Structure 1
Amino acid sequence: MGSKERRSEFQMPLHYPKYSRKEYQDMPEWALDRLLADYGLPADGDLAQKRRFAMGAFLWPDNNNGVEAAASLRKKNV
């Protein structure tokens, strides 16, 4: 691999995290750091940024918002 090429270090652990939004909001920074590290994801930024990143990466949208979000994405990609 050349020096300019970047490899992804993403790793899929055996279990997908199943925390609720409330659990992510209450999770201490060390636990967020560990969770992100377990998946090979960056743990950059302050605590609020890490929480937003983890919730965006691991939480599924609820049914109503998910349908609206998917429709919005389709419109942007057309």
Structure 2
Amino acid sequence: MSGTACSNNACAVPGMRPNGYYHQESKRDKCSCFQMPLHYPRFKKSDYETMPAWKLECLLKEYGLPIVGDVDQNRKFAMGAFLWPSEKE
């Protein structure tokens, strides 16, 4: 479940009201902006430590997070972003 990023900052959406509420008039008026996936990743620290690079990149992309540096940096970033403090130890 992922979306695509908007090419501009405003993301003009037909039906968007000034107060920020969205009124969808038809299916073709949908915004193609990024939408947060419904579920928080349920991986353990050991899962991140053994996760293949391609899967790690897909996970970061799905949540709109940057993929910068090598696989070890991305692995540490994902663990920092998705693991609770008690799970990091």
Using structure 2 for the length normalisation, give the TM-score: 0.58
Q: In 2 relative to 1, CA 11–52 (structure 1 residues): closer, same or farther, beyond 3 Å?
A: farther
Residue in 2 that maps onto 1:72: none
Alignment identity in percent? 55
Unaligned runs of 5+ in 2: 1-8, 11-32
**Aligned pair count?**
59
Residue in 2 that maps onto 1:18: 42
Contact persistence 1:24–1:55 (CA under 8 A): yes
Tell me the C-alpha RMSD between the 2 structures.
2.4
Using structure 1 for the length normalisation, give the TM-score: 0.66
Structure number with greater CO (CA < 8 Å, separation at least 6) is 1
- Which aligned runs of 4 or more in structure 1 are off by greater than 6 angstroms? none
The structure number with the bigger radius of gyration is: 2
Residue in 2 that maps onto 1:34: 58
In 1, Cα distance between the equivalents of 2:49 and 2:35?
A: 24
